[in-house]
Amino acid sequence: MSVPAVQKAAIVQSTGAKLQIHDNFPVKQASELAPGECLVKLVCTGVCHTDLHAAKGDWPIEAKTPLIGGHEGVGHIVAIGAHTQDSPVQLGDRVGIKWLAYSCLDCEYCRQGLEQVCPKGKYSGFTVDGTFSQYVVSWVSHVTPIPENLDSFEAASILCAGITVYRAIKYSKAKIGDWIALPGAGGGLGHLAVQYAAAMGLRVVAIDTGAEKRDLALKLGAEKWVDFRESKDLVADIKAATGGAGPNVAVVTATNSAAYEQAIDYLRPGGTLMMVGLPGQGKLAADIFFTVIKAINILGSYVGNRQDAREALEIAARGKVKCYYAVKPIGALEETYEGLEKGTVVGRIVLDMQQ
Ligand SMILES: [Zn+2]
Ligand SMILES: [Zn+2]
């Protein structure tokens, strides 16, 4: 397969610098790939809030610079490093690039399926260049095969947003028939969470604001809707929506601490707060007394491992979860960041990388 010498790429030169679109960024050639590495020619890539955090440097850990962000890419393998042993993927395969680009597969965490926290982990669009370029280098052991009947643009956002919420719900202790509260239900992660929750037999209380997000959440399977801007008493309204006792589980993807603290208040006794959002700063100021006497569980979930990725994609391929997205060219990345910052992006933005 022929690989060009240069490509389009969106580059952040230094932390907080303005994004630049280059037309002649060098493509790593097949001969330059190390064993275990592969080169993927992208069809498309989703844009995640994490990319914005990485570009702005507003997390306690810093991204590499210059940085090519992006970690929701779908494309075809066009080269595999020489001397790669037992590759699970082959030339021409359609694969996904997710946040966790590489892990050692041998440490205690990797062996237990918690490869996201591998000390040798590499992260797409953060510690290694990501998918905001037409070609991306990844690892044969970690790229995710895309099910045949799932469209590439549909698959893109499942690779981060989908996996993240799927795993969070899967490990939240929620069981069929339980109420689940989903703050941010109309956003990128939230609208996928609504569908995974519904597919898993949970009853969804969607929390967000505005008619567009309300309509989307209800259409996707939410049973109740609470508008946090219109509500005079959010905790009371969420409890009332579930018949008074409060939800069994809250999966919180917000980047402000208030949404986490409120969950402790509206969860029913024995309920579980699953924390998923990654605010740069923010503390959980839960009341210890009431957390204890309500027997509340507080858990955290971080993206997902290779198995979670395959399960999340499989559910989408079966039509149970559909990403609501708009397609834009790579040149629209800057305005997408602005929309994410203002909270005006409904669903997800996917960049067409073939243009
Ligand atoms: Zn992401
Ligand atoms: Zn490891």
Ligand closest to CA 160: 1
Look up residue 5 and give its two tokens.
């010498």
The whole-number pLDDT of residue 279 equals 80
The whole-number pLDDT of residue 159 equals 96
* Ligand 1 center from residue 185 Cα (angstroms): 16
Q: Report the C-alpha gap between 228 and 258 in whole angstroms.
A: 12
* Ligand 1 center from residue 22 Cα (angstroms): 23
* Ligand 1 center from residue 246 Cα (angstroms): 29
pTM (predicted TM-score): 0.93
Find the mean pLDDT for residues 183-191: 90
Find the mean pLDDT for residues 17-36: 95
* Ligand 2 center from residue 123 Cα (angstroms): 13
pLDDT exceeding 70 applies to what percent of the chain? Answer: 100
- Can you give the residue ranges of every domain in the chain? 6-159+304-352, 163-300
Find the mean pLDDT for residues 179-194: 93
Fold of 6-159+304-352: Quinone Oxidoreductase; Chain A, domain 1 (3.90.180)
* Ligand 2 center from residue 118 Cα (angstroms): 4
Condensed to tens digits (0 to 9), the pLDDT of residues 190-231 reads 999 999 999 999 999 999 999 999 999 999 999 999 999 999
Instruction: Specify the higher pLDDT residue, 257 or 234.
Output: 234
Amino acid symbol at 175: K
* Ligand 2 center from residue 116 Cα (angstroms): 8
Q: Report the C-alpha gap between 272 and 315 in whole angstroms.
A: 24
* Ligand 1 center from residue 57 Cα (angstroms): 15
Find the mean pLDDT for residues 133-151: 97
Amino acid symbol at 19: L
The whole-number pLDDT of residue 60 equals 83
The whole-number pLDDT of residue 155 equals 97
The whole-number pLDDT of residue 59 equals 81
Q: Report the C-alpha gap between 127 and 110 in whole angstroms.
A: 19
The whole-number pLDDT of residue 73 equals 98
* Ligand 2 center from residue 120 Cα (angstroms): 6
* Ligand 2 center from residue 111 Cα (angstroms): 7
* Ligand 1 center from residue 225 Cα (angstroms): 25
- Widest CA span of the chain, in angstroms? 64
- DSSP-assigned states of every residue in 101-162: EE--S-SHHHHTT-GGG-TT-EEBTTTB--SSBSEEEEETTT-EEPPTTS-HHHHHGGGTHH
* Ligand 2 center from residue 122 Cα (angstroms): 10
Model confidence at 345: pLDDT above 90: no
The whole-number pLDDT of residue 348 equals 87
Model confidence at 275: pLDDT above 90: yes
227 Cβ contact partners less than 8 Å away, ≥ 6 residues apart: 208, 209, 210, 214
Find the mean pLDDT for residues 33-55: 94
Ligand closest to CA 114: 2
Look up residue 113 and give its two tokens.
């399926």
* Ligand 2 center from residue 25 Cα (angstroms): 31
* Ligand 1 center from residue 50 Cα (angstroms): 5
Q: Where are the alpha helices (DSSP H) in the chain?
A: 49-56, 108-111, 152-156, 161-170, 188-199, 211-219, 234-241, 257-266, 288-293, 306-317, 333-342
Among the ranges given (182-191, 201-210, 312-321), the one the predictor scored with the smallest mean pLDDT: 182-191
Condensed to tens digits (0 to 9), the pLDDT of residues 60-101 reads 888 899 999 999 999 999 999 999 999 999 999 999 999 999
Helix axes 234-241, 257-266, angle to 10 degrees: 50
Q: What is the CA radius of gyration of the chain?
A: 20
Q: Is 205 exposed, middle or buried (0-12, 13-18, 19+ CB in 10 A)?
A: buried
The whole-number pLDDT of residue 256 equals 84
Ligand closest to CA 108: 2
Element holding 8 (H helix, E strand):
strand 6-11
Find the mean pLDDT for residues 180-194: 93
Fold of 163-300: Rossmann fold (3.40.50)
Question: Is there a shared CATH topology between the 6-159+304-352 domain and the 163-300 domain?
Answer: no
